[in-house]
């Protein structure tokens, strides 16, 4: 019973509730919401790149850092892929090189943060601009857009026999892997420890620098993977792909209950938050509401989700104080 | 040991000490490092493309960063206290559009009143951020991330529901002139930016409240214990970027219209300030953040 | 228990969503089963997807579309991204596909990037008409071309050549590097230069992405990089307006010739003060009108979109679908100080 109540009052429970509310409202507002096409295909495919990037971002934020360069790495990987394809290299090679580019980019981030002890916020703001600029250098004003159908099916097509896009499958697999790592493995415990108290973790023998470097490299590779999926979904490799996505990724992770200062949060929360944002965006698109207003709704949701509990807590404290005061005044 | 060799040794030591002091100075004073990098870049580019070194070009550069500078000054106030404000870009856009809209709707309005109105809006937007952070105990990065989206959406709603075109001829000439006049040959925008920077810089260094910001950033708990009304402080200087954001907004609009200033017939799509918002909100807030962090050096509040 | 839930939760959730979707397929099946004709009623539900919204050129086209909608008692709506980006157009197309609209009328930011989603729409029975900027030919039923591409390209160069005595360095300020219409015109411009104007050199093609600030900056960069630049062609309404502003900001209006495609309202002042001596355009309102009409006729089944089909498009008269399923609106108009006051768009 205790476990049940503690679960029910947890952040995850709130998110499940929000998700259900979102689905219900979506179903009421638009007759097209509950179609299998929408739920299986349209909703997931729009949010998949952000979802995939949110997985390593969760780990990084729990560890007490942040990586704002993910969208730029996505763009860079995308243009590298496009450039190599245009020059005639085989697709598997192009994809491989793009992933390596992501790895290197993440490595650079990690080295700057761990070896030079620079704040990750500052470093990744810098590399955000750096990698985006590199993307422009690589491809200039051009864009590559004629990709083979086999490739575009990766992002745009569905698993044969169902309507689930391939990217959903990739996300599901990655989510399970990350979930196991974060909640069940030694590394997961180490990440939580680092986020809570970096110095104490170091003194306990955890290789803080090494783990963080790995996390940043992981983030880079995953961002590059997201870039491959993005490129295939839109059949377009441009330097300005996914501009602004990093904020969405951070929003989703924060909405998922991960503490921005590190040390707390769960992957389940983030997955729920991904679906909430996906449902919100999808429902609003079906009503032909523009993207800017969708962002407004998401921003509002983010603020209220943190503000709400804080205000509720404060009211609780005030009420408890009042009760105490009244109680003591009665004891005359 | 002879006096001669002792003398030589002493000179060497003195030289070494001087060198060490200089290096120490450069490595400690962050601004010096930035200056060195700046000079290096100018040198390298200037050698490759001599046109880079022309006065015209520098004026163009200064103009294009004038607005960024104003907003960065405000952002610095926030970063000093160990917070961030990601929403400055959206605030600039929103205040720019609303100000222009008021000038269009009330043609006879006093120029100063219009500007003050805009500043008041900036103050309000910043205050919302500040209240969320101090009273609502929402971490600054979360709050301002949210308000970034909210303000951006507000501009969009406002722009698409009111007017689709704000011409340069719809706003009073004085407003446009704000950006086009030159004082002693220097464009007024640059002067405004410089004045704001100087005033705020002086405030930070010389006044008690300015030093308090450093204190809050260095060690919030200690500052709290010393009895500052932390809430009050944080809220106040979250307004700072709001006002700066508005000034940035005014000036951005002004610059936009500056080029149109000669020709009132030209159109600025009403969405253009909205477009300003959309464009400014994303790419701009990161340079502002970077500028703020770079200028005031250490992210965690310890300034020189 | 909690840990187990936390780990299995994500996968479980995905499974639940799929289950929900599979059972909850109340309305249309969508997906691979093609539905014949229009899924919804016979009412003309036609939606325009321009390159970007809040763009005066496309807004004018939309007003033409609205006129046609009124004439045909149909519905009109316009949705699109705020920045001219193909990747941003795709979610709108997907959303409209789900809503089973009658027809999508689109101006593509990139002909290939939007093709997969458009093909999916067509597979569901939605008619696709492209206007202004074409998409991949197999991803649309008909393309409404505003004017003969060759004619636009060549006449732009001729216009500029007149203004600079057929000699000197020139540059082109285009929109998005992937826009099909831009690239076709630029191709013809280069051909015209090679054939008729040996003394004019095209030094650069810059891209402003139909973004005012970018176009402005690109123009300034061009002027800096090529101090001897004699003329600029900007075949995009956003680009030419920004270029005019940029020229005036450095007091080069009149020294560096500027021409291109623009709307009279935006460029009236520049024409009056001599920065722009002449430019061309067609009537975007007519373009929108024709596009809506063709889409409506397709939806109603009155034409099939085959080459050789003829039809009457309301007030615009008779048209024939030409090769490659293209319908031509008409010849472009040249605007200069003599006639610019006659137009209001």
C-alpha A180 chain-centroid distance: 17
Crossing angle of helices A267-286 and A291-330, in 10° steps, is 130
| Chain segment C224-233, per-residue pLDDT in tens | 888 899 999 9
Beta strands in B120-259 (DSSP E): 165-167, 182-183, 186-187
Confidence band for B208, pLDDT divided at 50, 70 and 90: confident
> A205-214: long-range contacts (C-beta < 8 A, 24 or more apart)?
A208/A114, A209/A114, A209/A115, A210/A114, A211/A63, A211/A187, A212/A63, A212/A65, A212/A110, A212/A113, A212/A114, A213/A107, A213/A110, A213/A111, A213/A113, A213/A114, A214/A110
Report the alpha-carbon angle B45-A140-A96, nearest 5.
Answer: 115
Cβ A62 vs Cβ A264: under 8 Å? yes
Q: Is the pLDDT of residue A5 over 70?
A: no
pLDDT value of residue A102: 96
* 3-state secondary structure (DSSP) of residue B56: helix
pLDDT value of residue B240: 42
ipTM (interface pTM): 0.83
Cβ–Cβ contact B284 with C under 8 A: no
Q: Which of C95, C126, C173, C209 to mutate to test the interface with A (most CBs of A within 10 A)?
A: C95
Asked if the Cβ–Cβ distance from B60 to C220 is below 8 Å, we say yes
| d(CA B267, nearest CA chain C) in Å | 6
d(CA C306, CA A309): 62
Q: Pick from C310, C307, C305: which is nearest to C323 by CA?
A: C307
Asked if the Cβ–Cβ distance from B154 to A296 is below 8 Å, we say yes
Q: How many CA atoms lie within 13 A of C105 on its CB side?
A: 33
Percent of chain B having pLDDT more than 90? Answer: 4
Q: Is the pLDDT of residue B76 over 60?
A: yes
**Closest residue in A to C208 (Cα–Cα):** A141
* 3-state secondary structure (DSSP) of residue C36: coil
* 3-state secondary structure (DSSP) of residue B11: helix
Confidence band for C4, pLDDT divided at 50, 70 and 90: low
| Chain segment A142-200, per-residue pLDDT in tens | 778 778 877 777 777 777 777 778 888 889 999 999 999 999 999 999 999 999 998 99
Mean pLDDT, all residues of chain B: 70
* 3-state secondary structure (DSSP) of residue C278: strand
Cβ–Cβ contact C77 with A under 8 A: yes
Measured between beta carbons, the chain A residues lying within 8 angstroms of C204 are none
Nearest-CB residue to A121 (from B150, B153, B299): B299
Percent of chain B having pLDDT more than 70? Answer: 65
Q: Which of B85, B128, B145 to mutate to test the interface with A (most CBs of A within 10 A)?
A: B145
Q: Do the bridges between strand C45-49 and strand C103-106 make them parallel or antiparallel, or are there none, so unpaired?
A: parallel
- CA distances for B125 relative to A303, B130, B246, angstroms: 15, 9, 9
Percent of chain A having pLDDT more than 70? Answer: 96
Q: Is the pLDDT of residue B271 over 70?
A: no
Cβ–Cβ contact C165 with B under 8 A: no
The predicted model gives B73-80 an average pLDDT of 86
Residue B209: partners with Cβ closer than 8 Å, 6 or more residues away = B203, B233
C-alpha A122 chain-centroid distance: 19
- Greatest C-alpha distance within chain A: 90
Report the alpha-carbon angle A8-A13-A19, nearest 5.
Answer: 150
d(CA A59, CA A218): 10
A&B contacts, CB < 8 Å: 88
Q: Which two tokens stand for residue B271?
A: 């969405």
Nearest-CB residue to B150 (from A254, A296, A311): A296
Cβ C152 vs Cβ C200: under 8 Å? no
Nearest-CB residue to C213 (from B264, B271, B279): B279
Q: Is the pLDDT of residue B87 over 80?
A: yes
Residue with more model confidence, C161 or A12: C161
Q: Is the pLDDT of residue A332 over 60?
A: no
Whole-prediction pTM value?
A: 0.78
| d(CA B52, nearest CA chain C) in Å | 9
Beta strands in chain A (DSSP E): none
Write down the residue that tokens 């209001």 correspond to: C344
Q: Which two tokens stand for residue C102?
A: 């009658």
Confidence band for B211, pLDDT divided at 50, 70 and 90: confident
Residue with more model confidence, C269 or B227: C269
d(CA B65, CA B61): 6
Q: Is the pLDDT of residue C283 over 80?
A: yes
Asked if the Cβ–Cβ distance from A152 to C88 is below 8 Å, we say no
Residue C98: partners with Cβ closer than 8 Å, 6 or more residues away = A32, A35, A37, A38, A42, A286, C30
Percent of chain C having pLDDT more than 70? Answer: 88
Q: Is the pLDDT of residue B118 over 70?
A: yes
d(CA C176, CA C51): 10
Asked if the Cβ–Cβ distance from B149 to A306 is below 8 Å, we say no
Nearest-CB residue to B259 (from C55, C248, C265): C248
Cβ–Cβ contact C300 with A under 8 A: no
Asked if the Cβ–Cβ distance from B57 to C224 is below 8 Å, we say yes
Residue with more model confidence, A146 or A52: A52
Asked if the Cβ–Cβ distance from A146 to C27 is below 8 Å, we say no
| Chain segment A233-256, per-residue pLDDT in tens | 887 888 878 887 888 899 899 888
| Chain segment A95-146, per-residue pLDDT in tens | 999 999 999 999 999 999 999 988 898 899 999 999 999 998 888 777 787 7
pLDDT value of residue C14: 53
Q: Which two tokens stand for residue B267?
A: 């159109």
Q: Is the pLDDT of residue C127 over 60?
A: yes
Q: Is the pLDDT of residue C105 over 90?
A: yes
Sort B120 into a burial class: Cβ within 10 Å, 0-12 / 13-18 / 19+.
Answer: middle
Q: Which two tokens stand for residue A243?
A: 């501009």
Confidence band for B256, pLDDT divided at 50, 70 and 90: very low
The predicted model gives A82-97 an average pLDDT of 90
Nearest-CB residue to C269 (from B265, B271, B275): B265
Report the alpha-carbon angle A167-A173-A176, nearest 5.
Answer: 135
Measured between beta carbons, the chain B residues lying within 8 angstroms of C54 are 159-160, 164, 269, 271, 274-275
Backbone angles phi, psi at B268, to 5 degrees: -115, 115
Q: Which of A19, A234, A276, A289 to mutate to test the interface with C (most CBs of C within 10 A)?
A: A234
Measured between beta carbons, the chain A residues lying within 8 angstroms of B290 are 122, 125-126, 129
Asked if the Cβ–Cβ distance from B265 to C55 is below 8 Å, we say no
DSSP C253: B
Asked if the Cβ–Cβ distance from B149 to A295 is below 8 Å, we say yes
> What subunits touch chain A, counting only 3 or more CB pairs under 8 A?
B, C
Cβ C149 vs Cβ C181: under 8 Å? yes
Residue with more model confidence, B27 or C48: C48
pLDDT value of residue C187: 93
> What subunits touch chain B, counting only 3 or more CB pairs under 8 A?
A, C
pLDDT value of residue A135: 92
Residue A265 Rama label (left phi>0; alpha psi -120 to 50; beta)? left
Question: Per mean pLDDT, which range of A190-194, A224-228, A275-279, A315-319 is the poorest?
Answer: A315-319
Question: Per mean pLDDT, which range of B296-300, C15-19, C134-138 is the poorest?
Answer: B296-300
pLDDT value of residue A218: 96
Confidence band for C258, pLDDT divided at 50, 70 and 90: very high
Q: Do the bridges between strand B182-183 and strand B186-187 make them parallel or antiparallel, or are there none, so unpaired?
A: antiparallel
Mean pLDDT, all residues of chain C: 83
Cβ–Cβ contact C191 with B under 8 A: no
| Chain segment C29-44, per-residue pLDDT in tens | 333 333 333 444 457 8
């Amino acid at each position: 019973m205790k476990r049940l109540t503690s679960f029910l009052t947890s952040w995850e429970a709130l998110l499940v509730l929000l998700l259900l509310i979102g689905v219900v409202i979506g179903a009421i507002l638009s007759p097209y919401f509950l179609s299998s096409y929408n739920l299986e295909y349209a909703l997931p495919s729009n949010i998949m790149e952000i979802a995939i990037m949110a997985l390593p971002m969760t780990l990084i934020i729990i560890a007490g850092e942040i990586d704002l360069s993910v969208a730029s790495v996505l763009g860079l990987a995308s243009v590298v892929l496009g450039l190599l394809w245009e020059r005639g290299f085989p697709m598997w090679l192009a994809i491989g090189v793009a992933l390596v580019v992501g790895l290197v980019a993440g490595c650079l981030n990690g080295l700057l943060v761990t070896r030079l002890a620079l704040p990750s916020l500052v470093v990744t703001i810098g590399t955000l601009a750096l990698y985006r600029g590199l993307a422009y250098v690589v491809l200039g004003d051009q864009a590559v857009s004629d990709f083979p159908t086999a490739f575009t099916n990766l992002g745009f097509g569905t698993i044969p026999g169902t309507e689930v896009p391939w990217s959903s499958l990739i996300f599901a697999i990655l989510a399970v892997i990350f979930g196991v790592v974060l909640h069940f493995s030694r590394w997961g415990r180490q990440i939580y420890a680092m986020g809570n108290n970096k110095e104490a973790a170091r003194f306990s023998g955890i290789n803080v620098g090494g783990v963080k470097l790995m996390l940043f490299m992981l983030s880079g590779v995953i961002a590059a993977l997201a870039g491959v999926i993005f490129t295939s979904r839109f059949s377009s490799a441009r330097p300005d792909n996914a501009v602004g996505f990093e904020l969405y990724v951070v929003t989703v992770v924060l909405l998922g209950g991960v503490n921005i200062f590190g040390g707390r949060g769960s992957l389940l929360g983030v997955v729920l938050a991904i679906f909430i944002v996906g449902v919100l965006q999808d429902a609003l698109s079906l009503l032909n509401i523009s993207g800017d207003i969708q962002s407004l709704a998401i921003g509002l949701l983010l603020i209220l989700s943190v503000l709400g509990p804080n205000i509720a807590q404060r009211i609780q404290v005030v009420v408890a104080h009042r009760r105490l005061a009244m109680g003591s005044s009665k004891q005359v | 040991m002879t006096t001669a060799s002792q003398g030589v040794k002493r000179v060497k030591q003195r030289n070494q000490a001087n060198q060490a002091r200089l290096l120490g100075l450069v490595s400690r004073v962050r601004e010096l490092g930035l200056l060195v990098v700046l000079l290096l870049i100018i040198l390298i580019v200037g050698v490759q493309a001599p046109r880079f070194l022309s006065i015209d070009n520098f004026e163009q550069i200064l103009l294009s960063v004038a607005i960024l500078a104003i907003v960065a000054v405000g952002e610095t106030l926030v970063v000093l206290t160990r917070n961030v404000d990601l929403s400055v870009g959206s605030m600039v856009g929103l205040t720019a559009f609303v100000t222009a809209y008021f000038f269009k709707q009330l043609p006879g309005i006093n120029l100063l009143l219009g500007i003050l109105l805009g500043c008041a809006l900036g103050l309000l937007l910043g205050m919302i951020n500040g209240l969320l952070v101090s009273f609502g105990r929402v971490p600054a990065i979360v709050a301002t991330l949210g308000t970034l989206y909210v303000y951006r959406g507000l501009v969009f709603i406002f722009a698409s529901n009111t007017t689709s075109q704000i011409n340069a001829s719809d706003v009073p000439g004085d407003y446009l002139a704000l950006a086009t006049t030159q004082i002693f040959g220097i464009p007024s925008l640059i002067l405004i930016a410089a004045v704001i920077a100087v005033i705020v810089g002086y405030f930070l260094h010389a006044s008690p409240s300015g030093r308090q910001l450093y204190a809050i950033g260095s060690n919030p708990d200690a500052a709290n214990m010393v009895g500052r009304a932390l809430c009050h402080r944080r809220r106040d200087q979250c307004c700072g970027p709001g006002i700066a954001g508005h000034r940035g907004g005014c000036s951005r609009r002004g610059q936009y219209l500056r080029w149109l200033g000669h020709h009132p017939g030209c159109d600025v799509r009403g969405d253009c300030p909205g477009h300003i918002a959309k464009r400014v909100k994303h790419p701009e807030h990161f340079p502002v953040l970077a500028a703020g962090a770079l200028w005031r050096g250490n992210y965690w509040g310890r300034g020189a | 228990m909690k840990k187990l839930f936390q780990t299995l939760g994500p996968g479980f959730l995905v499974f639940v969503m799929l289950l929900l979707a599979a059972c909850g397929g109340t309305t249309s099946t969508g997906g691979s089963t093609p539905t014949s004709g229009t899924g919804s009623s016979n009412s003309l539900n036609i939606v325009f997807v321009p390159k970007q919204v809040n763009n005066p050129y496309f807004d004018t086209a939309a007003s033409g579309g609205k006129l046609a909608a009124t004439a045909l008692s149909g519905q009109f709506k316009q949705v699109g991204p705020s920045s001219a980006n193909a990747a941003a157009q795709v979610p709108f197309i997907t959303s409209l596909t789900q809503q089973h609209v009658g027809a999508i009328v689109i101006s593509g930011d990139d002909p290939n990037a939007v093709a997969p989603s458009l093909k999916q729409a067509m597979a569901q029975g939605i008619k696709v008409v492209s206007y202004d900027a074409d998409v991949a030919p197999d991803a649309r039923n008909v393309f409404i071309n505003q004017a003969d591409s060759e004619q636009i390209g060549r006449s732009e160069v001729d216009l500029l050549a007149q203004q600079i005595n057929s000699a000197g360095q020139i540059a082109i300020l285009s929109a998005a590097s992937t826009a099909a219409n831009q690239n076709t015109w630029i191709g013809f411009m280069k051909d015209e230069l090679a054939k008729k104007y040996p003394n004019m050199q095209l030094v650069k093609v810059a891209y402003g992405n139909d973004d005012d600030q970018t176009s402005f900056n690109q123009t300034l960069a061009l002027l800096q990089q090529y101090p001897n630049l004699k003329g600029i062609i900007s075949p995009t309404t956003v680009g030419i307006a920004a270029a005019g502003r940029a020229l005036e900001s450095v007091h080069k209006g009149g020294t560096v010739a500027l021409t291109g495609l623009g709307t009279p309202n935006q460029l009236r002042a520049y024409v009056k003060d001599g920065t722009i001596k002449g430019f061309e355009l067609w009537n975007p309102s007519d373009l929108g009108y024709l596009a809506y009409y063709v889409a409506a006729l397709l939806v109603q089944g009155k034409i099939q979109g085959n080459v050789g089909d003829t039809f009457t498009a309301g007030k615009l008269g008779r048209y024939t679908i030409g090769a490659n399923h293209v319908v031509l609106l008409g010849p472009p108009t040249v605007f200069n100080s003599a006639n610019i006051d006659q137009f209001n768009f």
